Structure 1
Amino acid sequence: MSISTNLSIINFTPYDWTQIGTSNTAGLTEWTFPKSLASGQAYGAEIVVNKPAQAHAQWAFTWADDTNPVANLILAVSGSSYSIDAALDEYSTENNPKGSVVNIPLASEAWSPFILVGNESNLAGNDPPTDWMAQNLPYIGCLTLQDMVIPGSHDAGMSEINYPREGTAANSQTQTLNITGQLQAGIRYFDIRPTISHGQFYTGHYTDELGANGESIADIISDINRFTAKGNKELIILELSHTLDTDSGYQAFSDSQYSSLLSQFRTGTKNLYTGDGADVLTKLPLSDFISNSPAVVIVCDERNTSWLASNGFQNKGFYSSSQFPVYNNYADTTDLATMQKDQYTKLVAQTKTPDNAAQLFLLSWTFTQNVIDAVGLGGDTLRQSATYFNGFLAQVGGSVPYTGPITWVAQKSGLPNIILIDNVPTNNRFLTVMAIGLTRFYGTQC
């Protein structure tokens, strides 16, 4: 099967890259890789394979001398699967020793990133470590959350369907990976929407009274505890919103129900971050959270600081949205270009004149189903549409400014602090390596 795809080559090192050797292409009609790539630049390489059985191509580059490649990007074909094998010939990266080969999956009509960031002694790139925050703490620990890019998961608890009310995997399930899988993929911000169903706390995805429940809150707590127990000293942020009592009238939680929810988190969750209850967390450096241990922060959108204090939750790991302000305004569209333009325009406006000086900008790279798709008469499921959208997150170049965050940040349009996606990939931590690259290259040097 032939394929048309793209590789975004992103140079977040202080060195200019130069191609060495020849590409030796066969079985392709396009292999448009650059002769050179300056520090801070990105290049969209087009790859079109028309004869898979004969397909061969490579692109080796260096910044050291003309004979020894830093890395060699080699096209790999296995049946109907395509990827780039990045051979690290000269230097190691975090999680990948010198001489190893890092596999970068390719998808049809999509963009996959190849990224290197840092200098020769501390390179990071594709296939980052599971504890990527801790491993990069020497380089990003001094940065506040406003200076970082954090991978986020939309409707994070919806990796399964429980007790549905017209909700199906096609119209209600936004994720394939559970919270454990998302944590391992590098996600650190979780959009959690608690529900009550059959007397227990779950997560949910509802429109009015139609939808379904996902993972239980008990399972999410267990997932987080297992992850941190393995020595992963990471900052994990849960933002609680859209509470819904599906057992009684589909109303938002009462005070007593909300208190019971937070009590379950308080008694069950290990490593809750119990800093000063008056702190504005977005202004704190990352090192304040995770220098000595993991940190779990729970943001309560539906209760203010006064309520948290009067109900015994202040200084216990729970914070109001005024202590963790986020600009979060999604495009509400099925169209990729409309979403890109909408989020770009909002990023530019909020960077110039933020609604709140302490806020984080959340880039909602998400798809909203229309009625036809939601009732099962359309084509793609939520996760299929999300996979299509996600395939353009690493896009660079193009004739319009609103392609994606790599281009936006390079143009000084603004830095998205949280990039929120549906259907976190099962085989590709592309969002995490983008977050590391953007944070380390554009952040203040620690």
Structure 2
Amino acid sequence: MGQGGGITFINGTLHDWKRSAPQAHRMENWNIPETLPAGQSTTLYIEWPGDAFTAHIPEFAHETFTLSDTPFHFALAARRINDALTFQVILTNLTTDNNPPGTVIDLGFAHDGDVCFILSGTEGSFTSTNPPIDWMQRNIGTLGPRPLREICMPGTHNSGMSVSRGRTILATEGTCLCQGLSVYEQLVAGSRYLDIRPTITAEGWFSGHYSEIRSPVLGDLLKTWQGMSGQGIAEIVAEVNRFTEEYKELVVISVSHSANALRDYKPFTDPEWAECYKHLSNLTHLHALPNSTSAALADLPLSTFIGGATPKAAVLVLTEAPAHTLEAFPDAGFYTANQLNMFDFYTNTMSADWMATDQLDKIAKNAKDKFFILPWILTQEGARDLVLSSLKEMAVDAERVLWKRLWAGCERGKIPNVVLVDYLKGGGRDVAALCMAVNNMFGV
């Protein structure tokens, strides 16, 4: 027997995908259905032959799908390229945003894991895996009139934690790093919501990931703060500025979980918040609204921020601090988190299936009237996990159920506004493609 793994197809179009006549193949398991229904997701288990790495053939299987009632079709191929097994989609005569006919989209292969292919939209405006970097501007005709609470976008959890710039004695990269890409790279990969957690250390201002660990035996009698500092705040500002110079997109920055390591990791004081805002004032595309303290951000259309005859970028900074800390920075592009009317509650579990069940239940009950943050993340539980668990491995588990389950949990008027993930991947910008499929299929 050979290696196996899953492919999830998300058909966000109005057309069934009809398989052409079955083709000969050399796969151990290649049970491709006759139809992949419109508006649905389908997960298939595929298994390679045992000689996949020794057989001297480049292609093991090839199937063609036609979009019903259209002339458009694409192909799925199982191939070995440079001694790596991979699935590829070939857009034979189909054009999607950023992908002309003939484009080959490499899906990869995850042994005992899942990869996905996403196609959504309508004829003339199809979107697929590998969307453009500036996916908001490229879809401004559709998304521009919609208020932010009716738009789905990718986001990154603890966005500054892709590198270690200082740590406590018990901290490890496996338990503290939440991302594998820098902030700039996350934005290029499709993220439009950054979760920044400012920390003051003896070395300066950084993003941080710190937790108070209590002894499982002695409790509060033996507790300590452990964690790690990530990208510097000035570095993050520079990377956001670089991105917004290159791409005229909206970037939302949530600033929360402040900590001063020089004061036993206590939250910021008002003067420290003022200094934080001074650092963030170096963001070059802060979007200042008139009467900003009363603006209901979630009700404003996307075009308010990045629309117009000349495309423009916009950055919104949301702070967890009390509103009075912004009085010295009026109409400067800083807002309180309450102004976005957010619903943001994570599931405290290391079980991907339970996290998905809980979060989809939260969408059903709360997404209609809120700007819904969907923390599709797994969390460490207790002191032992904070020392031994790997956030990168946990992110793989969470991603595995993202493709399978999120789509089925959405409906018109009840969507996540931010799909918040650890270890966002670049490559095919899969999470951005998923969010655009949600926008195309379930947008109001």
Q: Provide the secondary structure at the position in 2 that maps to 1:332.
A: coil
State yes or no: 1:228 paired with 2:240.
no
Instruction: Say whether the 8 Å CA contact 2:157–2:420 is kept in structure 1.
Output: yes
Maintained 8 Å contact 1:348/1:414: yes
- 1:189 counterpart residue number: 193
Aligned residues: 420
Q: CA deviation at 1:98?
A: 1.1
Aligned pair partner of 1:362 in 373, 381, 384: 373
The equivalent of 1:405 in structure 2 is: 406
Cα gap change, 1:413 to 1:6, in 2 (>3 Å): farther
**Equivalent position to 2:89, from 67, 86, 91:** 86
1:147 aligned residue: 150
Matches of 1:41 and 1:393 in 2, distance apart?
14
Alignment of structure 1 residues 324-335 onto 2, 5 Å? 324-335=340-351
- 1:155-211 per-residue CA deviation (whole Å, 9 max, x = no partner) reads 110011122113220111111111011011101111110000125211100102210
Per the alignment, residue 221 of structure 2 pairs with none
Unmatched tracts of structure 2, length 5 or more = 213-224
Whether the aligned pair in 2 keeps the contact of 1:111 and 1:393 (CA below 8 Å) is: no
Distance 2:167 2:124 in 1: 52
* Aligned-partner Cα distance in 2 for 1:131–1:393: 23
SS of 1:104's equivalent in the other structure is: strand
Aligned CA RMSD, in angstroms, stands at: 2.0
Residue 352 (structure 2) pairs with residue 375 (structure 1): no
Stretch moving more, 8-17 or 250-259 = 8-17
1:413 shift after superposition? 9.4
Question: How far is 1:260 from its partner?
Answer: 0.8
1:115 matches 2:134: no
Partner-residue secondary structure (3-state), 1:71: strand
Q: Whole-Å Cα distance in 1 between the matches of residues 69 and 432 of structure 2?
A: 30
**Offset of residue 223 of structure 1:** 0.4
Which residue pairs with 2:184 in the alignment?
Answer: 180
Which residue is equivalent to 1:295? 314
SS at match of 1:122: coil
Distance 2:318 2:375 in 1: 18
Deviations 1:320-371, CA, capped at 9 Å, x for gaps:
01211211111111111221122122222224xx7xx4x2111111111233
- 1:171 paired with 2:168, answer no
Corresponding residue of 1:400: none
Q: Deviations over 1:45-94 (max 9, x none)?
A: 2211133145611221113679x661011112236633221111112111
How many angstroms apart in 2 are the aligned matches of 1:430 and 1:133? 15
Question: 1:179, 1:224 within 8 Å by CA — same for their partners in 2?
Answer: yes
Looking at structure 2, the residues matched to 331 and 64 of structure 1 have their Cα atoms a distance apart, in angstroms, of: 40
Change (3 A) 1:107 1:80: farther
- 1:204 maps to amino acid: G
Report the secondary structure of 2:385's partner residue.
helix
Q: 1:103 to 1:211 in 2, by over 3 A?
A: same
CA distance in 2, matches of 1:4, 1:314: 57
Distance across 2 between alignment mates of 1:391 and 1:23: 29
In structure 2, the residue corresponding to 1:331 is in which secondary structure?
Answer: coil
Q: Normalization by structure 1: what TM-score?
A: 0.89
Cα distance in 2 for residues equivalent to 1:328 and 1:3:
38
Deviation at 1:405, TM superposition (A): 1.2
Alignment of 1:376-391 (within 5 A): 376=388, 380-391=389-400
The CA distance in 2 between the partners of 1:118 and 1:261, in whole Å, is: 42
Letter in 1 for 2:396: T
Aligned equivalents of 2:3, 2:417: Cα separation in 1:
33
Query: CA 1:317 to 1:285, structure 2 compared with 1: closer, same or farther past 3 Å?
Result: same
Note if 1:245 corresponds to 2:245: no
The one-letter code of the counterpart of 2:330 is Q
2:421 counterpart residue number: 421
